[in-house]
Amino acid sequence: MLSYRHAYHAGNHADVLKHFVLTLCLQHMNLKDKPYTVIDTHAGAGLYALDTHQARQTSEYLDGIGRLWARTDLPIPLKHLMRLLHELNSGGNLRRYPGSPWLAAHLARSNERLRFAELHSTDFAFLRREFKNQVPRVMVEQADGFEMLKAALPPPSKRGLVLIDPSYEIKNDYTKVAHAIKDALQRFATGTYLVWHPLLPLLEAAQLPQKLKKSGATHWLHATLSVRAPSGKERGMHGSGMFVINPPWTLAAELEQTLPFLARVLAQDEQATWAVDSLEQKPG
């Protein structure tokens, strides 16, 4: 949806979960010498100032990354992400929050290729400016992310990580995500796919994880973090989930170690919960 601007929501509890999982997956990708490609289908602006009108209008980051900023009791898996944020915000004050493109560019090795798509003209301009000095390592496109993904798979590197996180403000996005994953697995079955999705009292939102489980993937992990009880309102996001296809073998344990902490620290009422579900089908 071209009216959606992530600047209003940067650093909220959903970003914390999404970027935590992304960080863990990219760290694992770096363990092998073979090169890989990172594809972000809905990249946003790349980097967000938390003192802008948009950020202060909602102040969602205060109940997200703001609650983690000064803590000294972080679980070990969460420390790398928080270290990157502190490096970005030198001086000790939380002023800027990175989007997934910024994190990917700083976590991926210098020889990896990154491909980002953003359709909104304003956010695309910010994104292009952020990475103008990193061509040809980084390719930034003003494009529909779902269409870009079709053209990008399989990547020349034969290894790859794909992040899909549309706004879902248009209900058709749920169907597009399910179709995109099914098509992507046919083109590039060994890729690691990260799908972010909101937890909403909405039929399409509830059905998406089930559709992803039936997409043809033989190895997946589904993590959810809910910070409060459902409101009953269609737009009342009470949490979010990350569905990871072909996840790192270490991911489940890292999430199980960290999600209880996040549920406690980011809780907005007494009904904050977390869950990790997974499936791995053995060959034959």
Order the strands of the 219-226 sheet from edge to edge.
Answer: 138-141, 113-117, 37-40, 160-164, 192-199, 239-245, 219-226, 273-280
Q: Where are the alpha helices (DSSP H) in the chain?
A: 13-29, 53-58, 65-68, 76-88, 100-107, 121-130, 145-152, 172-187, 203-213, 251-265
Q: Is the pTM of this model over 0.75?
A: yes
Question: In whole angstroms, what is the distance from residue 263 CA to residue 221 CA?
Answer: 18
Helix or strand (DSSP H, E) at 279 = strand 273-280
Residue 14 lies inside a defined structural domain of this protein: yes
Residue 72: inside a domain? yes
CATH code (residue 193): 3.40.50.150
pLDDT value of residue 92: 84
Q: For the chain, how many structural domains are there in total?
A: 1
State the residue range of the domain holding 90. Answer: 6-280
Active site residues: 165
What are 216-253's pLDDT values in tens digits?
Answer: 999 999 999 999 998 876 568 999 999 999 999 999 99
The model's pLDDT over 159-193, given as tens digits with 9 standing for 90+, comes to 999 999 999 988 899 999 999 999 999 999 999 99
Residue 1: inside a domain, yes or no?
A: no
